[in-house]
Amino acid sequence: MSILILGIESSCDETSAAIIQDTKILANIIAGQEVHRNYGGVVPELASRAHQQNIIPVVDQAIKQANIQKNQLDAVAFTRGPGLLGSLLVGTSFAKAFSLAMNIPIIEVDHLKAHILAHFIKKDETQAIPEFPFLCLTVSGGHTQIVRIDDPYTFSTLGQTIDDAAGEAFDKAAKIMGLPYPGGPVIDKLATTGNAEKFSFPEPKVPGLDYSFSGLKTSFLYFIRDALKKDANFIEKEKANLAASIQRTIIEILMKKLNMAVKETGIRNIALAGGVSANSELRKALQKAGNNNSWKVFIPEIEFTTDNAAMIAIAAYYKYLEKDFCSQDVTPYARSSFQKK
């Protein structure tokens, strides 16, 4: 007998609902929030309001697209954290109410584990899924981690950022250049026509497998400020080269620690996850490292890189198998216990 789960994601600025039948996705609906564009970042209060408006239509659409009846669902799952508390509350409250109304169990999911488990979503028969144990470089707007995964329930964080996340480095660099939010995809596109070697920025010196991106942001800011004093059109003239150069630096920083993690653990199954894993050059860099070092690499489908509820539903599927349900008094958390510190 197959298991049908409704997954809800509302941790940041994407309201999403997905239906999964075992590991197969029947629907994955995502409503973005244009409202933040003019602010150069996510405005928490506006995000929670938009989630409230979007949640019911998004769930409704997912159920329709999956071509199921809501009384066929075996469980409802939601992102408990980490994320913006006001945003998380919308998904949490919806899941609780839905579970009461339909008399089905609730499953709470950690957003970071879900990004990783997105690799187990079944798209077609030929798709390769990571073999255990594997390492995952999770790079998103809020997190940057190297995680060791031994099975769908056992995750250990080997390294993580001590300040900004890789996605924030993209977004902040874009903001400094006057580009819209989120900056990652804009920089990715601009970089395709730029010279990545034109400018260089210092790499952080952080011990072990941890990352740091705040120094890079500051040196990028000062570099641009000084250049603008000499030429007011500097950004306009150099934007493709700036985008390509900052992107190259971020990718070099990410890949360096990943290489170290492989050497330290001897694990050669390597996956990529999170919003920044949509980056075309990062995907190429991992593929290249895989070819050169005989790693087996697992690069997610673009649709499962940025925040989506399909990843919540697949993570919930594994919890369902263990009957790992939660009660009506569950509350969201802003930070994950899964983070090292």
Indicate whether 164 belongs to the interface with ligand KG4 (CB under 6 A).
no
Q: Max Cα separation, the chain?
A: 69
188 counts as binding ligand KG4 under rule CB under 6 A: yes
Least Cβ distance, residue 162 to Zn ion (angstroms): 19
Under the binding rule (CB under 6 A), the answer on residue 210 touching ligand KG4 is no
167 contact, one of Zn ion, ligand KG4, none, CB 5-8 Å limit per kind: ligand KG4
Cβ-proximal residues to 263 (8 Å cutoff; 6+ apart), any chain: none
| 28 lies in the binding site for Zn ion (CB under 5 A) | no
CB of 223 vs Zn ion, minimal distance in Å: 29
Residue selected from 20, 278, 309, 311 as contacting ligand KG4 according to rule CB under 6 A: 278
Task: Single out the residue of 140, 241, 269, 336 in contact with ligand KG4 (rule: CB under 6 A).
Answer: 140
**Token pair listed for 214:** 């705040």
- Site membership for Zn ion, residue 140 (CB under 5 A): yes
DSSP state of 120: G
Residue nearest to Zn ion (CB): 140
In whole angstroms, how far apart are CA 174 and each of 126, 157, 272, 278?
37, 29, 23, 16
Strand positions, DSSP E, 128-207 = 134-139, 144-151, 154-160
Q: How far apart are CA 135 and CA 150, in angstroms?
A: 9
Kindly state whether residue 145 participates in binding Zn ion, applying the rule CB under 5 A: no
- How far is it, in rounded angstroms, from Cα 304 to Cα 273? 8
Stretch that binds ligand KG4, among 33-41, 62-70, 213-221, 269-277 (CB under 6 A): 269-277
Q: Which does 105 bind (CB under 5 to 8 A by kind): Zn ion, ligand KG4, none?
A: none
| Residue 183 contacts which entry, Zn ion, ligand KG4, none (Cβ below 5-8 A, type-dependent) | ligand KG4
Q: Is 103 left (phi over 0), alpha (psi -120 to 50) or beta?
A: left
Among 179, 114, 48, 54, residue whose Cα is nearest residue 313: 114
Roughly what angle, to the nearest 10 degrees, separates helices 280-293 and 234-265?
Answer: 30
Q: Which is nearer to Zn ion, 10 or 99 (CB)?
A: 10
- Across-strand partners of 159? 146
Q: Is 121 in the site for ligand KG4 (CB under 6 A)?
A: no
Does 152 bind ligand KG4 (CB under 6 A)? Our answer is no
Supply the minimum distance, in Å, between the C-beta of residue 336 and ligand KG4: 11
CB-count burial class (<10 Å; 0-12, 13-18, 19+) for 341: exposed
Residue in the structure block whose two tokens are 């998904």: 91
Using CB under 6 A as the binding rule, whether residue 110 contacts ligand KG4 is answered as no
Euclidean distance between the first and the last CA atom of the chain, given in angstroms as a whole number: 41
**Interaction of residue 157 with ligand KG4, rule CB under 6 A:** no
Alpha carbons 340 and 210: distance in angstroms, whole number? 10
- Give the SS3 label for residue 7: strand
Cβ closest to Zn ion, residue 171 vs residue 307: 307
**DSSP for 94-117, written as a single string:** HHHHHHHHHT--EEEEEHHHHHHH
* Segment contacting Zn ion by CB under 5 A, of 69-77, 139-147, 176-184, 196-204: 139-147
* Of residues 108 and 188, the one with the C-beta less far from ligand KG4: 188
Asked whether position 142 contacts ligand KG4 by CB under 6 A, the answer is: yes
Q: Is 183 in the site for ligand KG4 (CB under 6 A)?
A: yes
Name the site residues for Zn ion (rule: CB under 5 A).
140, 307
Positions that interact with ligand KG4 (CB under 6 A):
12, 140-142, 167, 170-171, 182-185, 188, 274-276, 278-279, 306-307
